[in-house]
């Protein structure tokens, strides 16, 4: 992901390239659930082929960094207060997404069959793709950090609306607005991480970001089982949405507080939105 962010800063690439990367992930979310069932074996084989092809294109087509020694001598990005704030918000998102994934399976199982969970995820991905295209089609005012937290707040709010669903059709309709802020949130998060750390530390910063999200999603899945069994999917949707809102609120408040400190202003002096 650091390579994508580096391309976004290059003069010959548009600034929306990070959103295009998030949009590609949304396309994967649309197609993956639809390859389940009787086509599961074919889907797994297609994933293997696509992974090998993508790895080959990446390794042969991307220019190597100009100074590899600089990265090895870079300080830990975790020393940057801005990155620590983003990681906490990312962790809230990851736990919320983990709860959501299992709650969708439980809801589908109670309203027609577990197989419908894949369709719900595909619709979610379709909404995410639409949101990424909308977000990347224009220039937005304000800092990218504020946009990231705004998108995360919108994700949390729309996630809480899922608790009102009483049928698969209603839930499917709600999955579209839930997906709209997803690609903008992930794209803005990546851009914010890139801005929060020195260039030489960006690779490690992205590694921390995705590691935190992955562990948080696993934690959310574990929590979700307990919540669903004890209180139902409605409570799981509300809890997940509340976590998204909490992560956005924390990020907004801490970012505003950090931006006022002289040390933060000096460290961001050379970076632009």
Report the CATH number at residue 159.
1.20.1250.20
> Does some domain include residue 222?
yes
Q: 């949707």: which residue's tokens?
A: 237
221 near 102, Cβ under 8 Å? yes
In a domain, 117, yes or no: yes
Has residue 137 been placed in a domain?
A: yes
Question: Is the distance from CB of 133 to CB of 23 less than 8 angstroms?
Answer: yes
* Pair of tokens at residue 71: 């990265």
**66-95 confidence digits (pLDDT tens):** 554 544 567 788 888 889 999 999 999 999
**pTM: predicted TM-score of the whole model, two decimal places:** 0.76
Residues 196/259, Cβ–Cβ less than 8 Å:
no
Q: How far apart are the first and last CA of the chain?
A: 18
Q: Is residue 236 part of a domain?
A: yes
The answer to whether 131 and 219 have CB atoms below 8 angstroms apart is: no
Q: What is the pLDDT of residues 152-197, one digit of tens each?
A: 999 999 999 999 999 999 999 999 999 999 999 999 999 999 999 9
- Assess if residue 272 is contained within a domain: no
Residue 9: inside a domain, yes or no? no
Instruction: Count up the domains in the chain and report the number.
Output: 1
Does residue 220 register a pLDDT over 60?
Answer: yes
1 is a domain residue: no
Q: What is the Cα–Cα distance from 38 to 98, expressed in whole angstroms?
A: 26
Per the domain annotation, does 143 fall within a domain? yes
| Structural domain range at position 247 | 14-63+77-267
Give the number of other Cβ atoms within 10 Å of residue 270's Cβ. Answer: 8
């Amino acid at each position: 992901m650091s390579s994508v962010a580096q391309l976004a800063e290059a003069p010959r690439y548009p600034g929306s390239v990070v959103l295009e990367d998030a949009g590609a992930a949304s396309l994967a979310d649309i197609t993956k659930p639809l390859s389940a069932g009787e086509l599961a074996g074919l889907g797994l084989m297609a994933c293997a082929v696509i992974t090998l092809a993508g790895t080959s294109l990446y390794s042969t087509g991307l220019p190597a960094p100009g100074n590899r020694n600089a990265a090895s001598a870079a300080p830990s990005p975790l020393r940057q207060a801005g990155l620590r704030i983003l990681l906490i918000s990312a962790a809230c998102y990851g736990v919320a997404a983990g709860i959501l994934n299992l709650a969708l399976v439980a809801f589908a199982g109670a309203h027609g069959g577990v197989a419908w969970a894949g369709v719900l995820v595909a619709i979610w991905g379709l909404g995410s793709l639409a949101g990424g295209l909308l977000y990347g089609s224009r220039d937005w005012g304000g800092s990218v950090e504020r946009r990231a937290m705004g998108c995360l707040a919108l994700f949390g709010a729309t996630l809480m609306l899922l608790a009102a669903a009483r049928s698969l059709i209603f839930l499917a309709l709600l999955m579209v607005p839930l997906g709209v802020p997803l690609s903008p949130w992930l794209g803005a998060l990546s851009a914010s991480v890139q801005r929060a750390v020195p260039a030489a530390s960006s690779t490690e910063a992205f590694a921390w970001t995705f590691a935190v999200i992955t562990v948080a999603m696993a934690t959310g899945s574990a929590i979700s089982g307990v919540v669903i069994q004890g209180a139902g999917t409605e409570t799981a949707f509300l809890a997940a949405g509340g976590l998204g809102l909490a992560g956005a609120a924390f990020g907004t408040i801490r970012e505003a507080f950090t931006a006022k400190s002289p040390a933060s202003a000096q460290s961001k002096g050379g970076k632009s939105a």
